[in-house]
Structure 1
Amino acid sequence: MAPLTQTALTVVTLAVMLLGLAGLILVIFPGLNIIWLAALVYGLITGFDWVSGVLFAFITLIMLVGNLADNVLMSTEARQTGASWLSIGVALVAGLLGSLFFPPFGGLIAALVGLFIIEYIRIRSWRQAANSMRGMALGCGWVVGVRIFFGLVMIFIWGMWAFIL
């Protein structure tokens, strides 16, 4: 590949990854998936060898763990405040739908409102429902930090691949 083309590809890939990283601030935005997809496209264009394949496998593993941690942290915080699994499930579905129809914050708002409504119907206490909603919101806060950490690690690994190897 010509040096100018390689440089352009690297700059575009890094820009997409940084966009994905910035998007991780939004709880419902799939920033880790965007960073992963940028690394995949980079690998498909430049070609994979044994070392880059291993690095991409690590990037993939981190993306999967990060996406799983996302749901686990939000659910755990809500569950610790007494929220039912039904409420958490409704919140996750509402969050997905809200993010599709009302981005960028519709998903977060829909998840919290969905959790509150189901919890209020279930236990008839707006205070306890609000407490469960607060727990999920706290979990969302933790998720942002964890996702940014995972995103930075993914970009660092890609950087080793692109700039050192």
Structure 2
Amino acid sequence: MVLPQWAFWVALVVMVVGLVGTVVPVLPDLVLIWLAALAYAIAEGFATIDPVTFGAITLLAAVGVTAEIWVSQIGGKLGGASWQALLAGAGLGVVGFVVGLLVGGIGALPAAMGGALVGVLLVEYLRRRDWKETARAGAGWLAGCLVSGGIKLLLGLAMVLLFVWQVWKG
């Protein structure tokens, strides 16, 4: 089924909002891009966005959504954080996410990042009693978070370009 041209532009605008969300934590990001591609594909019966293309978009989204976790963990490890600190960071990140959802004005993602950073710093300081090493571990984790944002932006851009290419080629 061929959709009207406005459907493409609506999907593209939603995807651009998702791209902005990769760098602005209060907006949805790759999941929004994925949902726009899914809605378009379903609406047009998977004719131009075929199952293989949608599978590729889904894979890119899955890698990007999980990048926040594994890239920040790699950054923390490179900064010298222990597995205990990274585990505490993950746990307090979840707590921060929930608190951010419940408390207005904070936002779930900034609160999750803050909670995770506090977890890494707290455990590393308790383990080492050395602020310099603690700061190094926290900086590594934070650098990993920043790198993951860049990865998410690039993957989101790849998702949008793949979508546009498939629709334009028909």
Would you say 1:141 and 2:146 are equivalent positions?
A: yes
Assess if the C-alpha contact under 8 Å between 2:41 and 2:48 holds in 1.
Answer: no
Report the CA distance shift for 1:44/1:51 in structure 2 as closer, same or farther (over 3 A). closer
- Classify the secondary structure of the residue corresponding to 1:151: helix
Q: Which runs of 5+ in 1 are unaligned?
A: none
Query: SS in structure 1 opposite 2:146?
Result: helix
Q: Is the 8 A contact 1:17 1:155 kept in 2?
A: yes
1:163 and 2:168 aligned: yes
Q: How far did 1:83 drift?
A: 0.9
Deviating more after overlay: 23-32 vs 67-76: 23-32
**TM norm structure 1:** 0.85
The two structures have a TM-score, normalised by structure 2, of: 0.83
Whichever residue aligns with residue 121 of structure 2, its letter is F
Query: Structure 2 unaligned runs (5+)?
Result: 101-105
Question: C-alpha separation between the residues in 1 aligned to 2:134 and 2:25?
Answer: 21
Q: How many residues align?
A: 163
CA 151–47 in structure 1, closer or farther in 2 if over 3 Å, else same: same
Aligned partners of 1:27 and 1:143 also within 8 Å: no
Correspondences of 1:1-165 after superposition (within 5 Å)? 6-26=4-24, 31-49=29-47, 52-100=50-98, 101=100, 102-103=106-107, 104-165=109-170
SS in 2 for 1:25: coil
Change (3 A) 1:120 1:19: same
Is the alpha carbon distance of 1:130 and 1:94 closer, same or farther for their aligned partners in structure 2, counting shifts above 3 Å?
Answer: same
Instruction: Find the aligned partners of 1:29 and 1:85 in 2 and give their Cα distance.
Output: 30
Which has the larger helix fraction? 1
> Closer, same or farther in 2 for the Cα pair 1:77/1:29, shift >3 Å?
farther
Residue type of the partner of 2:55?
A
* In 1: Cα distance, 2:118 partner to 2:26 partner: 15
- Aligned CA distance change for structure 1 residues 95 and 9 (closer, same or farther; 3 Å): farther
Q: C-alpha root-mean-square deviation of aligned residues, in Å?
A: 2.3
